[in-house]
Structure 1
């Protein structure tokens, strides 16, 4: 299977490197308007580079286009790839709005191609382990959860992130990881309430989600501009115990269970197991779904729903109001 990568920045480089070492996959080309950046990546991975999407697609018989461009460019290039009959792997978020996401999904279906969105957190071993333990009832029925994702401001190095209209800010670009992950556990969101503080090199958000499933409440924290190392953490409180994960702790996953035996009190998971690179796992899974026709772990509808929740959070922060998604007002419209 031949894959081309559009965008040679951080995520494009990760995608290209993963495809270059994947069995039965050929990294046929990379493309970026920055010719020097594309040339560096192409030389490193032993492929060819192009400066325009159209030039690349005219020259290469690709099966899959992997899109790692800024969010405002996701929709136009997904539509272009779909029109050419190519399967598409696109970085998150799927689009800037649920309406754009729906148009992209419809275009891919109309052209008979698959669309996959890179919500990679579900492929991190730590998060997959938490999911399996929660689903197995290790801490009973979860009523409350908290997750955080904090790091430096990407706009300091890549200016488009600092443009709230382009990136959607910390809630759309960073917190959306945890929105998708919590939806994978608890299903549809009933209501959203958000607070957001922004400034030069600062974007901090607190969001409370209430789910239909057991009326669970989830608190999400995201911070661009944190002066320390990039950190993620999650905590789940259930009817029979608590499950915790913190990327900064030496023991990355812990369970504290009511009346647990000593051997059950702590389960450790490697914090960054190189032999289980989550980006490789994610992309290999998508390639496998194209070959087999199977449904992916993260569907395009999941990706659209995550954008809907993120947009509701942005609206809540701007208005100070709780946004209810049953009768929704997302992007100012009844839904």
Structure 2
């Protein structure tokens, strides 16, 4: 299949490099309004660079395009691709508003192209393993869940992340992975309560989800953490507990010794007696979560089959994230049934989502 990538930032680079490795897939181009970014990625992946999506479409033919742009642009370019007869793999969240998501779905159906939303969280080994064990009943019925997803602020590298309209903030851009994952295991969300604090280059949120089946999930998300990106989760059921933590799940863990000058100053040891350290590399994955996700999506397009993460899943995750934003703004619990009845977005909430 002939595929292309629209947007050459972090996620665009991830998609392009995965496509370049996949069998039966030809990466025919990458596109970005920042021409230097497109050229850099094209050279790294052995493909052609474009600065206008229209030129890429005209030069086609394309079978699939990955849309890796700010959320506010998802609808515009999904519609453009669909009307050109190109299948769409779009990064999460699905769109800025529910109305945009509906338009994306209608246009793609009308043009008989598939629309797949890239919620990659379900494709990471730790997450697939935990899901397998929970579905097998290893810990019984889940009752209380804690999940954490924290890392540096992406706005330090790409300024558009600092604009709430473009990125959706930490809840809609980062925590939405955990919202989608929890829905896949615990069912529909009954109510949402959230707290959020934002400062320049710091966005922190704590969201509590109560599910129809009785489970409660506490989700923590942070942009601006001074350490490396990390995730953790704990599921407590009536027959046991299961943990997963990215910080303790590495194939190889490296503990670096204090440097020569520091050792001399703190212990009085002779630095000349210190041996040259051995540098160990962590064991690489043969296949990344993004490789698995995009390969799965390509197979779904070829077979016209339903993906692991459905479009409805993506829309519901986005709706729960919007409810969390409303709760954080009002300080009140949001009932999802009532939230759905009013369409999930009012003029009042639209004003503060993106202010």
TM > 0.5: yes
Q: Once the 2 structures are TM-superposed, how far is the Cα of residue 165 of structure 1 from its aligned partner?
A: 2.4
2 CA distance for matches of 1:230 and 1:50?
A: 31
Partner of 2:287: 276
Contact 1:102 1:304 in 2 (8 A): no
Question: Residue 125 of structure 1 corresponds to which residue in structure 2?
Answer: 125
Q: SS at 1:76's partner residue?
A: helix
Q: What is the CA-CA distance between 1:293 and the residue it aligns to?
A: 1.4
Distance in 1, matches of 2:41 and 2:160, equals 22
Write out per-residue CA displacement over residues 223-248 of structure 1, whole angstroms, 9 at most, x where no aligned residue: 11111111100000000100001111
SS in structure 1 of the partner of residue 337 of structure 2: coil
Report if aligned partners of 1:90, 1:118 keep a CA contact under 8 Å in 2: yes
- Are residue 204 (structure 1) and residue 215 (structure 2) matched? no
Local SS of the residue matching 1:5: strand
Q: Which has the higher Rg, Structure 1 or Structure 2? A: 2
The equivalent of 1:156 in structure 2 is: 156
Measured after TM superposition, the shift of residue 79 of structure 1 is 0.7
Residue in 1 aligned with 2:228? 229
CA RMSD, 1 decimal: 1.4
| Corresponding residue for residue 345 of structure 2 | 331
CA contact (8 A) 1:29 1:60 kept: no
Q: Say yes or no: does 1:6 pair with 2:6.
A: yes
CA gap 1:126/1:250 in 2 versus in 1, 3 angstroms: closer
1:97 is matched with 97
The within-5 A match list for 1:283-302 is 283-302=294-313
Residue number in structure 2 paired with 1:263: none
Give yes or no for the alignment of 1:306 onto 2:317.
yes
Match of 1:315 among 295, 314, 326: 326
Query: How much does 1:98 deviate?
Result: 2.0
Shift of 1:203: 0.5
Cα 1:251/1:47, change in 2 over 3 Å: closer
The unaligned stretches of length 5 or more in structure 2 are 252-281, 348-355
Question: Structure 1's 250 and 280: CA in aligned 2 closer, same or farther, altered over 3 A?
Answer: closer
Aligned length: 314
Shift in Å at residue 272 of structure 1? Answer: 7.6
Q: Which residue of 2 aligns with 1:110?
A: 110
In structure 1, the residue corresponding to 2:95 is in which secondary structure? coil
Distance 1:172 1:27 in 2: 29
Higher relative strand content: 1
- 2:314 is paired with a residue whose SS is helix
| Structure 1 unaligned blocks of 5 or more | 253-270
Alignment partner, residue 58 of structure 2: 58
CA distance in 2 between counterparts of 1:128 and 1:272 reads: 19
**Distance 1:131-1:59 versus aligned 2 partners, 3 A rule:** same
Separation (CA, whole Å) in 2 of partners of 1:101 and 1:6: 19
Structure 1 stretches (4+) deviating beyond 6 angstroms?
none
Give CA-to-partner distance per residue, 1:145-171, whole Å, 9 cap, x none. Answer: 011100111111111111122211100
